[in-house]
Amino acid sequence: MPINVLVTDGILSATAQQQMFAELTASFLRHHDLAGNSFLTPNVIGEINTVPRGKSFAGGASNDIVVVELKVPSFALGTPAQKAGFIADATEIVFRAAEGRHPRERIFVNMVYAVDGLWGIGGKAYTNAELGEAVSQAGAA
């Protein structure tokens, strides 16, 4: 379940990036009611990509950006409350990590859902039902 963060260089320190990513992972798992799940936890992966100042844009003009994007199976964060909770948490996590270098109202969070059957882990294509079964069989780590 990749979490990808795109951020203009200089907004987050290296230490803040690591802490922020750990907190984003924990928030995703908590809002999905799967904190500590031994199948899902190691499969929450991702990266932080920095963009040089002057190479990120908003409103058609050069501007600093922070975008948090989840790529998940279509059942992930399935309720409006789960979605809203993760978005609120992710925004706050990034805001704290930026330590005043980026405004809360300019932090963007979105989710992209994979088509059922197109989620692969270790060379196996999982359907939503198979993922759900693997998660439920795994239990807490």
For each of the domains in the chain, give its residue range(s) and CATH number, in order of start: 3-138 (3.30.429.10)
Residue 138 — pLDDT band, cuts 50, 70, 90? confident
pLDDT tens per residue, range 77-109? 889 999 999 999 999 999 999 998 999 999 999
Q: What is the DSSP letter of 12?
A: S
pLDDT tens per residue, range 19-47? 999 999 999 999 988 888 787 888 899 99
Burial-class residue 44 by CB neighbours within 10 Å (0-12, 13-18, 19+): buried
pLDDT at residue 118 is higher than 60: yes
The model's pTM: 0.88
Dist CA 67 CA 37 (whole Å): 26
